[in-house]
């Protein structure tokens, strides 16, 4: 038990020492602030409170207006960017359509060229076969005229 009493006495000594230091520091502060009147509860008159509330409301309205302007400005910027992107997409789409039409037209020309080539080939065959037929008819005619040759 003596250990416990000794600890309590030591804590009591530390406590009184801390309290003395606090009192000294607080009294020094009071001297700097010119007395304890500084720490009395301050009251604010109703007219001051009403003015403060009005001021606070005005600040809130101004803050809301500022936020609104910033957001509207951002929306306008986004709309401008949106319009640019849409215009670019439309231009790209038109360009793609023209490229597809050009490629398809080229394919049509290739097919029409095949038809033209086939027509030329037919004419060539007719001409060749016609000449061969004419030569054969002439040969037959000559053989009839000159049967022994």
Residue 25 lies in a domain: yes
- Look at residue 90 and tell me if it is in a domain: no
The CA-based dihedral angle spanning residues 124, 125, 126, 128, taken in that order and rounded to the nearest 10 degrees: 80
Is 131 domain-assigned?
Answer: no
Tell me if 14 is assigned to some domain. Answer: yes
The residue with greater pLDDT, 42 or 22, is 22
Q: Tell me: the pLDDT tens digits for 78-131?
A: 999 999 999 999 999 999 999 999 999 999 999 888 887 878 888 887 777 777
């Amino acid at each position: 038990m003596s250990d416990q009493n000794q600890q309590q006495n030591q804590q009591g000594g530390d406590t009184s020492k801390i309290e003395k230091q606090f009192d000294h520091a607080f009294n020094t502060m009071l001297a700097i602030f010119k007395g304890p009147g500084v720490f009395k509860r301050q009251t604010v008159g109703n007219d001051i409170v009403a003015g403060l509330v009005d001021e606070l409301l005005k600040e809130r309205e101004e803050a809301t207006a500022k936020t609104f302007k910033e957001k509207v400005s951002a929306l306008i910027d986004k709309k401008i960017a949106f319009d640019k992107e849409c215009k670019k997409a439309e231009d790209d789409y038109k360009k793609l359509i023209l490229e597809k039409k050009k490629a398809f037209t080229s394919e049509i020309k290739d097919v029409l060229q095949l038809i033209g080539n086939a027509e030329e080939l037919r004419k060539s065959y007719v001409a060749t076969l016609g000449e061969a037929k004419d030569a054969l008819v002439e040969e037959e005619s000559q053989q009839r005229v000159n049967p022994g040759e």
